[in-house]
Amino acid sequence: MSVSIYDIAKKAGVSPSTVSRALEDHPRISATTRKRIQELAREMDYVPSTVAKSLAANKTWTIGMVLATITDPFMGRVVEGVENVAIEAGFNVFISTSQNDRQREIAAIKMLQKRRVDGVIVIASHLFDQYPRFYGRSKVPIVIINEQKPGESTHFVTVDDVHGAQLAVEHLLALGHCRIGYVGITNRPQSNQHRFKGYQNALEARGIAVDPALIFTSHTIEDHAKVGGASLEPLLAAGATAVFCYNDTTAIGLLAACYKHGISVPENLSITGFDDIDIAAYTIPPLTTIRQPRFELGQRSMRMMLALLSGQLPENQIVPGELVVRQTTACLVSGEMVEAAS
Partner DNA sequence: ATACTTTGTGCAACCGGTTGCGCAATATAT
Partner DNA sequence: ATATATTGCGCAACCGGTTGCACAAAGTAT
Q: Is 52 in the site for a copy of itself (CB under 8 A)?
A: yes
* Binding status of residue 15 toward a copy of itself by CB under 8 A: no
Q: Which of 188, 165, 149, 179 lies closest to 272 in space, CA to CA?
A: 165
Nearer to a copy of itself, 77 or 291 (CB): 77
Chosen residue from 10, 35, 39, 49 binding DNA by CB under 7 A: 49
> Is residue 133 close enough to count as binding DNA by CB under 7 A?
no
C-alpha to C-alpha distances, 245 to 6, 187, 324, nearest whole angstrom: 61, 14, 14
Q: 212: which residues sit within 8 A by CB, 6+ positions away?
A: none
Residue 13 or 136 with smaller CB distance to DNA: 13
Q: Nearest distance from residue 30's CB to a copy of itself, in Å?
A: 27
Would you count residue 42 as binding a copy of itself (CB under 8 A)? no
Interface with DNA by CB under 7 A: which range of 10-18, 61-69, 117-125, 230-238? Answer: 10-18
Segment 294-313, which members bind DNA (CB under 7 A)? Answer: none
Q: 81-100: which residues touch a copy of itself (CB under 8 A)?
A: 83, 87, 92-97, 99
> By rule CB under 7 A, what count of residues binds DNA?
33
Q: Which of 57, 70, 2, 63 is nearest to 24 (CA)?
A: 57
Question: Tell me, what amino acid is at 111?
Answer: M
**Is residue 217 a contact residue for a copy of itself (CB under 8 A)?**
no
Residue 44 or 213 having the CB closest to DNA: 44
Q: Give per-residue burial for 117-137: e unless 16+ CB within 10 Å, then b.
A: bbbbbbbbbbebeebeebbee
Do residues 175 and 162 touch, judged by C-beta distance below 8 A?
no
* Smaller CB separation from DNA, 16 or 76: 16
Distance CA 340, CA 342 (A): 6
- Cα separation, 29 vs 11, in Å, equals 17
**Minimum separation from the CB atom of position 25 to DNA (A):** 11
Q: Does 28 bind DNA (CB under 7 A)?
A: yes
* Edge-to-edge strand list for the sheet holding 180-185: 215-218, 180-185, 242-245, 270-272
The residue ranges of DSSP E strands in the chain, in sequence order, are: 62-67, 92-97, 119-123, 142-145, 155-159, 180-185, 215-218, 242-245, 270-272, 289-291, 317-319, 322-324
Rg, C-alpha atoms of the chain: 26
Nearest distance from C-beta of residue 303 to a copy of itself, angstroms: 19
Q: Which of 20, 36, 48, 309 binds a copy of itself (CB under 8 A)?
A: 48
* Residue 327: count of CB within 10 angstroms of its CB: 13
Residues near a copy of itself, by CB under 8 A = 1-2, 45, 47-52, 54-55, 58, 60, 69-73, 75-77, 79-80, 83, 87, 92-97, 99, 107, 110-111, 113-116, 137-139, 223, 225, 249, 252-253, 255-256, 259, 278-279, 281-286
Residues near DNA, by CB under 7 A = 1-2, 4-6, 13-18, 20-21, 23-24, 26, 28-34, 46, 48-49, 51-53, 55-58
